[in-house]
């Protein structure tokens, strides 16, 4: 009888699977990802290496010596150490983070706009005390610009009524506000000394969310040529909530990671973070094979560093408040070994 190996489901639950079952999950996931994203599946060698990583009973795994990559972060730290600066110092001095991020618990550019001077002062003070680069991060969150939270009509109410034109007009209005807020906050933080800015979970409200962010990126890049600009995606596919939005003639709805990267690097992004959402009912082996397959084409066209997202619930890391380290470390190793990505 084939030995059963402890492994994880996408929600973090521990199960036991045989090597043959893991191999089958990897193969099926890669083929499904290839069919959906219209990209090649992982090669036989890549699938075999992935199987070796996931068929190990080790409690932890890691990349080979010398293969380490740059770690950026969205958020980061713990918010439990008293102040933002203490939190950043701990991340630098104790966790050994490569890129640090100052952030606020109201993690939206719309909300940060109202407390920008407070955040600027923290950034200025932090820059005096830290050596590692510090970026400022928040999310575009386009939906916050619709009623009742914002000024635009609520397109998620208009769409079910069949008012397509009204919904699109509302998204257009919201995008104007969102881009203005992102330009205002990121410019303010760079003026306060930030090494870069992070547009986190971009596209979470669909193609309008993505386009409003790309417009902000272009503005920041033109004004601050040497600033770091990280753009992390919300999911593997840009949802066409508007459906007709384009970036320089390219329709944004339906873009997969490779095409997302192409528009991002054209807009002026410095670090691109693809995200592939976890399927909780599938094994982590299935999820990482799916993620690798849809992200791999990025690496062939990338002119900028690619840092796949490995937070909770993306790219093979279980969706769990405390992602088990056996699963998170396997995802990190698989992404580095197979993609040869530039960071995480």
If one asks whether residue 99 binds another protein (CB under 8 A), the answer comes out as: yes
Among 112, 245, 264, 341, interactor with another protein by CB under 8 A: 341
Helix (H, G, I), strand (E, B) or coil at 252: coil
11: left (phi over 0), alpha (psi -120 to 50) or beta: alpha
Residues ≥6 apart with Cβ < 8 Å to 59:
325, 326
Chain-centroid distance, C-alpha 143? 18
Contact string (CB under 8 A) for another protein, positions 304-333, x = contact: xx----xxx----x----xx-x--xx--xx
User: Closer to another protein at the Cβ: 245 or 295?
Assistant: 295
If one asks whether residue 194 binds another protein (CB under 8 A), the answer comes out as: yes
Instruction: Report the 10 Å Cβ neighbour count for 305.
Output: 18
Give me the least distance between CB of 343 and another protein, in Å please: 7
CA dihedral 128, 129, 134, 136 (to 10 degrees): -70
Residue 142's nearest CA partner among 72, 218, 242 is 242
Residue 117 backbone phi and psi in degrees, to 5: -60, -35
Among 159, 164, 169, 302, interactor with another protein by CB under 8 A: 302
Distance CA 324, CA 48 (A): 23
User: Closer to another protein at the Cβ: 12 or 41?
Assistant: 12
If one asks whether residue 228 binds another protein (CB under 8 A), the answer comes out as: yes
Among 46, 84, 195, 200, interactor with another protein by CB under 8 A: 195
Give me the least distance between CB of 25 and another protein, in Å please: 21
Among 166, 193, 240, 243, interactor with another protein by CB under 8 A: 193
Q: Which of residues 255-284 bind another protein (CB under 8 A)?
A: 270-271
If one asks whether residue 61 binds another protein (CB under 8 A), the answer comes out as: yes
What is the DSSP annotation of 75-118?
Answer: S-S-S-SSSHHHHHHHHHHTS--SSEEE--SS-BHHHHGGGHHH
Among 76, 203, 204, 206, interactor with another protein by CB under 8 A: 76
User: Closer to another protein at the Cβ: 132 or 169?
Assistant: 132
- Cα–Cα distances (Å) from 238 to 45, 56, 204, 259, 334, in that order, read 30, 35, 8, 10, 24
If one asks whether residue 62 binds another protein (CB under 8 A), the answer comes out as: yes
Distance CA 155, CA 31 (A): 35
Give me the least distance between CB of 200 and another protein, in Å please: 15
Among 222, 226, 248, 300, interactor with another protein by CB under 8 A: 226
User: Closer to another protein at the Cβ: 18 or 127?
Assistant: 127
Instruction: Report the 10 Å Cβ neighbour count for 128.
Output: 8
Contact string (CB under 8 A) for another protein, positions 159-178, x = contact: --------------------
Which token pair is 331? 């995802």
- Containing 27, the helix (H) or strand (E) segment is helix 19-37
If one asks whether residue 60 binds another protein (CB under 8 A), the answer comes out as: yes
Instruction: Report the 10 Å Cβ neighbour count for 86.
Output: 15
Which token pair is 343? 């960071």
If one asks whether residue 68 binds another protein (CB under 8 A), the answer comes out as: yes
Stretch that binds another protein, among 45-53, 65-73, 137-145, 177-185 (CB under 8 A): 65-73
Among 170, 185, 289, 336, interactor with another protein by CB under 8 A: 336
Catalog residues that contact another protein under the rule CB under 8 A: 60-63, 65-73, 76-77, 91-93, 95-99, 124, 127-133, 135, 190, 192-196, 226-228, 270-271, 302-305, 310-312, 317, 322-323, 325, 328-329, 332-333, 335-336, 340-344
């Amino acid at each position: 009888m084939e030995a059963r190996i402890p492994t994880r489901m996408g929600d973090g639950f521990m199960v036991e699977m045989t090597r043959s079952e893991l191999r089958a999950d990897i193969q099926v996931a890669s083929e499904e990802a290839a069919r959906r994203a219209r990209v090649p599946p992982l090669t036989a060698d890549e699938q075999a290496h992935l199987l070796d990583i996931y068929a190990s009973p080790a409690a932890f795994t890691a990349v080979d010596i010398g293969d380490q990559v740059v770690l950026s972060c969205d958020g980061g730290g713990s918010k439990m150490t008293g102040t933002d600066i203490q939190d950043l110092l701990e991340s630098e001095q104790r966790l050994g983070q490569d890129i640090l991020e100052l952030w606020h618990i109201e993690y939206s550019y719309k909300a940060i706009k109202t407390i920008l001077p407070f955040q600027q002062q923290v950034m200025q003070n932090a820059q005096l005390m830290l050596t590692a680069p510090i970026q400022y991060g928040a999310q575009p969150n386009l939906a916050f610009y619709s009623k009742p939270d914002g000024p635009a009509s609520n397109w998620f109410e208009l769409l079910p009524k069949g008012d397509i034109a009204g919904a699109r007009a509302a998204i257009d209005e919201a995008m104007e506000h969102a881009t203005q807020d992102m330009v205002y906050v990121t410019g303010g933080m760079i003026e306060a000394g930030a090494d870069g800015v992070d547009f986190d979970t971009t596209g979470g409200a669909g193609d309008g969310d993505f386009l409003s962010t790309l417009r902000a990126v272009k503005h920041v890049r033109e004004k601050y040529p040497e600033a770091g600009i990280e753009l992390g995606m919300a999911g593997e596919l840009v949802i066409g909530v508007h459906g007709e939005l384009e970036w320089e003639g390219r329709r944004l709805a339906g873009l997969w990671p490779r095409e997302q990267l192409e528009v991002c690097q054209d807009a002026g992004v410095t670090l691109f973070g693809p995200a592939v959402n976890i399927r909780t009912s599938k094994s982590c082996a299935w999820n990482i094979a799916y993620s690798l397959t849809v992200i791999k084409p990025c690496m062939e066209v990338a002119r900028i560093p690619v840092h796949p997202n490995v937070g909770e619930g993306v790219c093979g890391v279980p969706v769990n408040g405390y992602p088990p380290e056996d699963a998170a470390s396997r995802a990190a190793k698989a992404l580095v070994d197979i993609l040869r990505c530039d960071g995480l």
